Amino acid sequence: MEKRINIQNLEPEAYKAMFGLEAYLVKTSISKTIKELIKIRSSQINNCAYCINMHTKDALANGETQQRIFVLSAWREAPDLYTDQEKVAIEMTEEITLIQHHGLCTETYQKALQIFSENEVAQLIMAIVTINSWNRIAVSTHLPLDE
C-alpha cells in the first residue's frame, strides 16, 4: 500500500478535535463493551484494517471473548451471544454506518429508546459517528497496522 500523508503530523488541531470526541466518549454511560463492539462492527463495514486490529485488541484486553468478536459480522445468526442492549447498539451501528441505505430507521430508533435513555441514544450515535470518522481517516490515508 502506498504511503500517504499523516494528518496527525500535518494538522494536529484536527486530531486534537477528534481526541476531544474520544475524551467525551470515555465519560459517557455506555459500557466499554458496547463501545468496542460499535468500533469493531463499524470498522468491519468500512473495511478499516487499522481500526479492526486496534479495537479487537482493546476489546480482548477489556475481557471480550474471541468468539463474540469472530461472530460479530454475523451477529443476527447468533443472537444468544449478545445482550439486547448490544444487539440494538450493533444494529444502530450498521444503519448509521450504512447511512446511504436508509439511515437509522424508525424501528431501530424506537427499540433503542425502549432500552436506552435519550441521553444514551445520543451517546451511542456520537460513538458511531466518531468511529466512522476515524475509519475514514485511516482508510483514506492508508494508516499502517500497529503490530
Is the pTM for the entire model greater than 0.75? yes
| Rounded distance between C-alpha atoms, residue 43 and residue 116, angstroms | 23
| pLDDT digits 0-9 by tens, 67-100 | 999 999 999 999 899 999 999 999 999 999 999 9
| pLDDT digits 0-9 by tens, 27-72 | 999 999 999 999 999 999 999 999 999 999 999 999 999 999 999 9
What CATH number has the domain bearing residue 66? Answer: 1.20.1290.10
Is 141:5 a contact under the CB 8 Å cutoff?
yes
Residue 11 lies in a domain: no
Residue span of the structural domain in which 52 resides: 29-141
| pLDDT digits 0-9 by tens, 1-28 | 788 999 999 999 999 999 999 999 999 9
CB-based burial label for 114 (10 Å; 0-12, 13-18, 19+): exposed
Q: Please list, residue by residue across 49-79, b when 16 or more beta carbons sit within 10 angstroms of its beta carbon and e when fewer do.
A: bbbbbbbbeebeeeebeeebbeebeebeeee
Residue 52 lies in a domain: yes
Query: How many independent structural domains does the chain possess?
Result: 1
